[in-house]
Structure 1
Amino acid sequence: MLNTFLGGMLAGLLAGYLMKWMKKHIHSDGAFAGVITFWVYPVIGTLIVAVLMLFVVGQPVAWLNQALINWLNGLAGANALLLGAVIGGMVSFDLGGPVNKAAYAFCLGAMANGNFVPYCVFASVKMVSAFSISAACLLRKDLFTDEERQVGNQTWILGLAGITEGAIPFAMADPIRAIGSFIVGSVVTGGIVAYYAIGLNVPGAGIFSMFLLKGGIGGLMNPLIWLGAALLGALISTILLILLRKQKLNKKMARD
């Protein structure tokens, strides 16, 4: 799965830059303009990208995929807490991008092999970034624009469904501060869930996962720890996001 996402991302970048180069250096006016636009660009461009992906890029991407999966497998067992922290960081690193999908692929693979803890970590962490965005916009409205607050007021709903993409606009606008805040809280959440060895053997994410938990301490404690870990991680991310956002605005005001 990671191979697919990384390969797709690289293919898209290659195709984009190749088209840009071809339009700059291969062009024609008059009768052949349509032929160049509708045949040469897509056909030649597709062939070149396909050859590069098949014979040049494919093997390194496959190697990277396997190396990452092997590394995560090596963290299992005695390093469960570290594994949970790493998965947590990966989930919030790019909010649904290739690194997030790498964690997802690993968690599904672990589930297929009877280890239900990694996916439980994944499901809990997916709520952190969304919750922290909504909380930050609610607590410090003055630090965010009207558009950001409108998005933030709804992000927590996506978090309940286990959707991290709601935080992407904030991450794109201020990637280092926003993503850094998300990762710190997510690492804490992932470490807590993995430490208590709480498992989830049903693919999916969101608040309803708390009724399907297995292992761990058992009983009511499992959902309390699972949801509590997500809320604690979100609290940490919220505090960091507010502090870093305030620092950014203070620097901007000092320059002005």
Structure 2
Amino acid sequence: MLLAIIVGDMQRTTQALLASEALRRAAARRGLTPPIEVQVEGAVLGALEVDAMPDLLLLVGDPEPRPVGSEPVRTVATLEAVLADADAVLARAIDGAGAPAPTAGLRRIVAVTSCPTGIAHTFMAAEGLKAGADSLGYAIRVETQGSVGARDGLTQQEINAADVVVIAADTQVDLSRFAGKRVLVTGTKPAINDGAALIERALAEARSHDEALTPTPGSTPVKAPGGAGVYKHLMTGVSFMLPFVVAGGLLIALAFAVGGIYAGDQQGTFAAALFQIGAKAAFTLMVPALAGYVAFSIADRPGLAPGMIGGVLAAQLGAGFLGGILAGFIAGYAVRLMSRWIRLPQGLEGLKPVLLLPLLGTLITGLAMIYVVGRPTALVLAGLTAWLQSLQGGGASTLGALLGGMMAIDMGGPINKAAYAFSTGLLTSDVYGPMAAVMAGGMTPPLGLFLGTRLFPQRFTPAERAAGPATALLGLAFITEGALPFAARDPLRVIPALVLGAATAGAISMAVGAELRAPHGGLFVMLIPNAVSHVFAYGLAVLAGSAITAVALRGLLPRQVA
């Protein structure tokens, strides 16, 4: 059998060269010396002869396919698979176990993943898609829009060459750059659970948005069919609000650590400066950011200004985060409806997104906040705040158990995010207890599973026992999704144990009066002075919940066969 190899990646030159060398050595171990062509940015190394007659052509990465002699049998592999085990890739190709390339050529997929916090689901979805593409023998590039911004950004060249675009996101993603491509929009969970099935579904069901997504001067790109629901719009707003909450809350905690609880009154001191930055600047922007990006998710850029201005009014009227949410939805849907129904002459169309829509949207949102929803929402928030602050004993424990349990039911899903968004929003009203209960409930599932793998190893598979330490690190960082692989194997037994432990941790946290000023960080934020009140009792709450989870797993899970 005559074998030829083409390795290509315009963005990852080093990986392409390493993969070609790995394949060269793997082939040598089989006594083969196949010609290897490497396609990298600006160069083609070892170009194959057009009249070459290989029986088998192995395509690795994302090369530009071209005719080589008579049409050979083609197999494909990803760069990651070759770098992980070149011998196995070569063996699958030669033995016929590799995935054959489609008759139309190598399938190319580009994808974008994103989630509200931009930490766990974003990267788990990306890994799921990469693994799925590898198993199918397709080339894929995934852009992750995480908490630190976009990574591995897609180039326009890659987008143009793609057969399909997969958007696996729980927040709104700008689709305008995918004009003319077939796009499938879904959440992160399908990508996490079965990336291969999602890719096959995208190839079969993705719809072209040639006209809907092609931006014209003065027009607003239309969202994908079906649009994002209320939940996705809200989570988009929450994801943009989080940095303000984290920065502001931690700076306030540091101010208290330096200057005591009256740090804000000590004019001219460093503690007062920290307090001013955190409380008077960062926290002031929380509600406007929430409202603005809810509106942005619904109506794109023309909705941003009306939403933010509505959020400022909500804060001024005392409506807090509830008013901010309402302002965002009012602004977003008002602007979106006007964008659809207002028609201007072609020469004036450019005025619509920069003048007409922001002006009318701001007017409608502002009047609605001042005369309709602002005051009633402020009364509701004041009543809710007073009730939460008055909770003692059993009432506080019940609320803590509810919030903690919600964090463990779907671990990053809608119920988890509902509890998280509710508690984060209360930070704007100086109510910090629910946030502490939520973080305790979110840390407990991974920590409880780690404890279970160590105390009762016979209840877990070897792979789960090996994953225990990594799961513990995720739990310490308040990344509840670390428990997902365990729950996926046996959800009917694992999830009740996780909920029981998380509810216990949340109940104890509220009962001891623990308060948390930052919405994320886990153990690492607990180390910052005054970020968590009653920190020792709070740590015991997390330990108690983790222990109960481990014991419950011991009782619910069957013994594994060695």
TM-score, reference length from structure 1: 0.69
Q: Quick one: distance in 1 between partners of 2:408 and 2:439?
A: 12
| 1:87/1:167 CA distance change after superposition, 3 Å | same
Deviation at 1:215, TM superposition (A): 10
SS of match in other structure, 1:105: helix
Task: Give the Å deviation of 1:170.
Answer: 0.4
The match for 2:545 among 213, 216, 233 is: 233
What are the within-5 Å matches in structure 2 for residues 61-80 of structure 1? 76-77=388-389, 78=391, 79-80=395-396
**One-letter amino acid matched to 1:209:** V
Q: Deviations over 1:188-244 (max 9, x none)?
A: 11011112221111232311333457599x6xxx12210100110111110111111
- What is the CA deviation profile of residues 132-190 of structure 1, one whole-angstrom value per residue up to 9, with x for unaligned ones? 11111112222221111111132112222122121110011111211110100111110
Question: Corresponding residue for 1:134?
Answer: 450
Alignment of 1:44-59 (within 5 A): 50-53=224-227, 58=230
1:224 paired with 2:398, answer no
The alpha carbon displacement at 1:121 in A equals: 1.4
- Name the aligned partner's letter for residue 424 of structure 2: L
Please report how far the alpha carbon of residue 120 of structure 1 lies from its aligned counterpart in structure 2 after TM superposition: 1.3
Instruction: Report if the CA contact (8 A) 2:449-2:483 is conserved.
Output: yes
Q: Which amino acid aligns with 1:109?
A: G
Indicate yes or no: 2:433 matched with 1:117: yes
Task: Please give the per-residue CA displacement for 1:50-76, whole angstroms capped at 9, x wherever unaligned.
Answer: 34337xx559x98xxx8xx99xx5973
| Residue 188 of structure 1, aligned match among 504, 520, 526 | 504
User: Aligned in 2, Cα 1:156/1:58: closer, same or farther, shift over 3 Å?
Assistant: closer
Q: In structure 1, which of residues 82, 98, 101 is the aligned counterpart of residue 414 of structure 2?
A: 98
CA, structure 1 residues 21+182, in 2 after alignment: closer, same or farther (shift >3 Å)?
closer
One-letter code aligned to 1:76 = L
1:43 to 179, 187, 209: 209
| Matched residue, 1:146 | 462
Give the direction of change, closer, same or farther, for the CA distance of 1:126–1:234 in structure 2 (3 Å limit): same
Distance 1:22 1:203, change over 3 A: closer
Instruction: Find the counterpart in structure 1 of residue 68 from structure 2.
Output: none
Aligned-partner Cα distance in 2 for 1:22–1:147: 33
> Residues 525 and 531 of structure 2 are in contact (CA less than 8 Å); yes or no, is this contact kept in structure 1?
no
Given that 1:125 and 1:190 are in contact with CA atoms closer than 8 Å, whether structure 2 keeps it comes out as yes
User: Matched residues in 2 for 1:185 and 1:42: separation?
Assistant: 46
**What runs of 5+ residues in structure 1 fail to find an aligned partner?**
25-39
Pairwise CA distance, 1:22: 9.3
Call closer, same or farther: CA 1:233–1:242 in 2, change over 3 Å. Answer: same
Change (3 A) 1:215 1:129: closer
State how far apart, in whole Å, the 2-side matches of 1:133 and 1:231 are.
12
Q: Where does residue 205 of structure 1 map in the other structure? A: 521
- 1:118-138, CA deviations, whole angstroms, 9 ceiling, x for partnerless residues? 111122222211111111111
Q: CA, structure 1 residues 42+171, in 2 after alignment: closer, same or farther (shift >3 Å)? A: farther
Which digits, 9 at most, give the CA deviation of each residue in 1:13-66, with x for residues without a partner?
7x999x959948xxxxxxxxxxxxxxx83338x889834337xx559x98xxx8
Q: Which amino acid aligns with 2:456?
A: R
Q: Which amino acid aligns with 2:463?
A: E
Contact 1:137–1:152 (CA<8 Å) still a contact in 2? yes
Extract structure 1 runs of 4+ deviating beyond 6 A.
46-49
* Larger RCO of the pair (alpha carbons < 8 Å, separation 6+): 1
Q: Identify if the C-alpha distance between structure 1 residues 52 and 150 changes in structure 2 by more than 3 Å, giving closer, same or farther.
A: same
Are 1:5 and 1:98, in contact at CA under 8 Å, matched by a contact in 2?
Answer: no
Q: Indicate if the aligned counterparts of 1:200 and 1:212 stay in contact, CA closer than 8 A.
A: no
What is the identity percentage for the equivalent residue pairs of Structure 1 and Structure 2?
29
Q: Judge conservation of contact 1:213–1:223 (CA < 8 Å) in 2.
A: no
The partner residue of 1:171 within 484, 487, 497 is 487
Work out the CA distance in 1 between the residues paired with 2:171 and 2:410: 13
| Structure 2 residue aligned with 1:161 | 477
- Structure 2 residues without counterparts, runs of 5 or longer: 1-115, 118-168, 174-184, 191-196, 214-221, 235-321, 326-379
Secondary structure at the aligned position of 1:53 is classed as: coil
- Cα pair 2:518 2:531 within 8 Å, conserved: no
Q: Output the CA distance in 1 between the equivalents of 2:455 and 2:422.
A: 36
More strand by share: 2
**Partners of 1:58 and 1:224 in 2: how far apart?**
39
Shift of 1:97: 2.1
Alignment partners' CA distance in 2, 1:243 and 1:41: 48
Which structure's CA Rg is the greater one? 2
Q: 1:41 to 1:5 in 2, by over 3 A?
A: closer
